């Protein structure tokens, strides 16, 4: 134990005695590790908020919609689409909707002249939709079975539309939907997987049929939450289960896929910068080997006297290796801190979330130590092989 402490102490004293040289030794592993950590961290941070969103939203929302193969208008899904979808065992819950087009919505009836009259999406939905989408209400309530059965003109609006119309939470308001007064009963929060819902109006299927459709109401789209481990198979199975015998085709879409794709870190960029970091650390290692080799020559008299005083070859070799290890440890730690600082500064400037995989820190230090030890091996061997008789120039 005392011997080990002596070794560490001599290494530290030796390094501290030659501060500039030590600083030069530290730079190699430090810059290399910092570059690698910053590269991985910054490329991850760039997509950090998206990744968090994907994790939050889940990747198991599947959309199945009717699409006309003949270019016909308003393709629909079968009436019993929910039951059909539920026959796929990996489907957990389903919500059907009908999207109505060309309906003009204004904050109140008289606003029609002043207000922009671009049609906005009006969606007929049942009470399951927010459950399947896993979206909370900003205020109020969702459409319920009373709305469905009573023919009451109740509407839920997206949070974007609420902002646009100046609807306050819990405010009693009516809006004009295609010429009918609808009472706003609730405001739905943003649906990240379906951004269009931000500015949509949701009404019951009954209202949709009574006010806007000539025929019986039929859904044209369903949302299904499915077993997360079998998303793709389920999407395929849904096509078959729903489409059997119907005139229109069924298209499925895994809603999170686009988002996931966007959230993926730029692997190529990462690879390039990491390679440059590795190169820096290898050059740093060569620098250590070079500087230490020169140091062995400069310190040959010191090594000679130490050998004469009874320090063995092994002690001399370990002493030099230990200097390299200390350089690796300190260089590695400084490199990790520098890399973290780079991520932090970079992410702050770009407005990203700070993301750093926890394994990066120990990996960086280990890499720095490994390189330093490898670089120290040759000079350590040379130092140990010096003959005291030759270095002391006796006589």
Partner 1 sequence: MSDVMSDVLMRLEGVSRCYGSGEATVWALHDVTLSIHAGDFVSIVGPSGSGKSTMLGLLGCLDSPTSGSITVGGVEVTGLADAARTHVRGQSIGFVFQQFHLIPHLDALGNVETALLYRDLKPAERRERSMESLERVGLGHRFDHRPVQLSGGEQQRVALARALVTQPKILLADEPTGALDTRNAANVMEILAGLQSDERAVVIVTHDTDIANSAARKVSMLDGRIVSDEVLR
Q: Is 301 in the site for partner 1 (CB under 8 A)?
A: yes
Q: Is 10 in the site for partner 1 (CB under 8 A)?
A: yes
Q: In the bound complex, what is the minimum distance in angstroms from residue 303's beta carbon to partner 1?
A: 10
Question: Near partner 1 by CB under 8 A, which window of 8-16, 194-202, 213-221, 355-363?
Answer: 8-16
52, 294, 305, 357: residue in contact with partner 1 (rule CB under 8 A): 305
| C-alpha span between 123 and 104 (Å, rounded) | 13
Print the binding letters for residues 315-354 with partner 1: x by CB under 8 A, - otherwise: x---------------------------------------
Residue 179 to residues 109, 115, 161, 214, Cα–Cα distance (Å): 7, 14, 18, 16
Q: What share of the chain is helix, strand, coil (3-state, %, to 5)?
A: 55, 15, 25
Q: Is 381 in the site for partner 1 (CB under 8 A)?
A: no
| C-alpha span between 122 and 143 (Å, rounded) | 14
Closest listed residue to residue 296, CA positions, set 279, 275, 319: 319
Query: Do the Cβ atoms of 195 and 158 come closer than 8 Å?
Result: no
Q: Is 388 in the site for partner 1 (CB under 8 A)?
A: yes
Nearer to partner 1, 2 or 229 (CB): 2
| C-alpha span between 171 and 167 (Å, rounded) | 7
Q: Three-class SS of residue 158?
A: strand
Q: Is 246 in the site for partner 1 (CB under 8 A)?
A: no
96 sits in which H/E element: strand 91-100
Residue 242, CB-side half-sphere exposure with 13 Å CA sphere: 33
Nearer to partner 1, 251 or 313 (CB): 313
Question: Near partner 1 by CB under 8 A, which window of 95-103, 281-289, 311-319, 359-367?
Answer: 311-319
Q: Is 314 in the site for partner 1 (CB under 8 A)?
A: yes
Q: Is 392 in the site for partner 1 (CB under 8 A)?
A: yes
Query: Do the Cβ atoms of 267 and 279 come closer than 8 Å?
Result: no
47, 173, 306, 382: residue in contact with partner 1 (rule CB under 8 A): 306
Nearer to partner 1, 114 or 393 (CB): 393
Nearer to partner 1, 9 or 112 (CB): 9
Find residue 186's DSSP bridge partners: 140, 156
| C-alpha span between 323 and 252 (Å, rounded) | 62
| C-alpha span between 313 and 355 (Å, rounded) | 47
| C-alpha span between 357 and 363 (Å, rounded) | 10
Question: Near partner 1 by CB under 8 A, which window of 13-21, 40-48, 52-60, 90-98?
Answer: 13-21
Q: Supply φ then ψ for residue 324, to 5 degrees.
A: -65, -40
| C-alpha span between 298 and 203 (Å, rounded) | 86
Question: Near partner 1 by CB under 8 A, which window of 27-35, 40-48, 245-253, 310-318?
Answer: 310-318
Q: In the bound complex, what is the minimum distance in angstroms from residue 25's beta carbon to partner 1?
A: 16
Sign of the C-alpha dihedral, residues 357, 358, 361, 366?
Answer: negative
Q: Is 12 in the site for partner 1 (CB under 8 A)?
A: no
Print the binding letters for residues 15-54 with partner 1: x by CB under 8 A, - otherwise: --xx------------------------------------
Q: In the bound complex, what is the minimum distance in angstroms from residue 393's beta carbon to partner 1?
A: 7
Q: In the bound complex, what is the minimum distance in angstroms from residue 325's beta carbon to partner 1?
A: 17
Nearer to partner 1, 64 or 326 (CB): 326
21, 53, 313, 381: residue in contact with partner 1 (rule CB under 8 A): 313
| Binding-site size, partner 1 (CB under 8 A) | 31
Q: Is 310 in the site for partner 1 (CB under 8 A)?
A: yes
Angle at 151 (CA atoms; ends 148, 157), nearest 5 degrees? 65
| C-alpha span between 164 and 49 (Å, rounded) | 26
Residues that bind partner 1 (CB under 8 A): 2-3, 5-7, 10, 13-14, 17-18, 301-302, 304-315, 387-389, 392-395
């Amino acid at each position: 134990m005392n011997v080990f402490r002596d070794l560490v102490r001599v290494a530290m004293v030796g390094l501290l005695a030659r501060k500039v040289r030590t600083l030069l030794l530290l730079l190699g592993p430090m810059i290399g590790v910092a570059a690698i950590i910053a590269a991985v961290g910054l490329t991850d941070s760039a997509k950090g908020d998206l990744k968090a969103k994907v994790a939050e939203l889940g990747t198991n929302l599947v959309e199945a919609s009717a699409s006309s193969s003949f270019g016909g208008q308003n393709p629909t899904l079968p009436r019993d689409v929910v039951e059909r979808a539920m026959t796929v065992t990996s489907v957990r819950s389903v919500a059907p909707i009908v999207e109505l087009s060309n309906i003009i919505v204004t904050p109140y009836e008289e606003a029609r002249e002043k207000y922009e009259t671009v049609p906005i999406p009006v969606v007929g939905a049942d009470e399951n939709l927010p459950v399947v989408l896993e979206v909370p209400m900003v205020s109020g309530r969702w459409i319920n079975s009373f709305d469905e059965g009573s023919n009451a003109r109740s509407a839920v609006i997206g949070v974007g539309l609420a902002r646009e119309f100046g609807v306050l939470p819990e405010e009693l308001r009516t809006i004009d939907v295609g010429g009918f007064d609808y009472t706003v009963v609730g405001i739905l929060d943003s649906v990240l997987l379906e951004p269009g819902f931000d500015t949509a109006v949701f009404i019951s299927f009954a209202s949709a049929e009574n006010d806007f459709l000539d025929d019986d109401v039929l859904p044209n789209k369903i949302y299904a939450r499915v077993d997360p481990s079998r998303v793709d198979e389920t999407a395929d199975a849904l096509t078959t289960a729903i489409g059997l015998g119907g005139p229109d085709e069924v298209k499925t879409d895994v809603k999170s896929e686009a988002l996931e794709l966007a959230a993926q870190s730029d692997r190529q960029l990462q690879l390039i910068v990491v390679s440059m970091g590795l190169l820096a650390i290898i050059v740093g290692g060569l620098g250590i080997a070079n500087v230490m080799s020169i140091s062995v020559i400069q310190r040959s008299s010191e090594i000679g006297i130490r050998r004469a005083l009874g320090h063995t070859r092994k002690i001399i070799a370990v002493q030099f290796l230990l200097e390299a290890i200390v350089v690796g440890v300190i260089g590695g730690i400084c490199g990790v801190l520098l890399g973290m600082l780079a991520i932090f500064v970079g992410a702050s400037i770009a407005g990203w979330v700070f993301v750093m995989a926890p394994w990066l820190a120990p990996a960086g230090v280990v890499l720095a130590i490994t390189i330093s030890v490898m670089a120290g091996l040759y000079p350590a061997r040379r130092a140990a092989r010096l003959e005291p008789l030759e270095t002391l120039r006796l006589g």
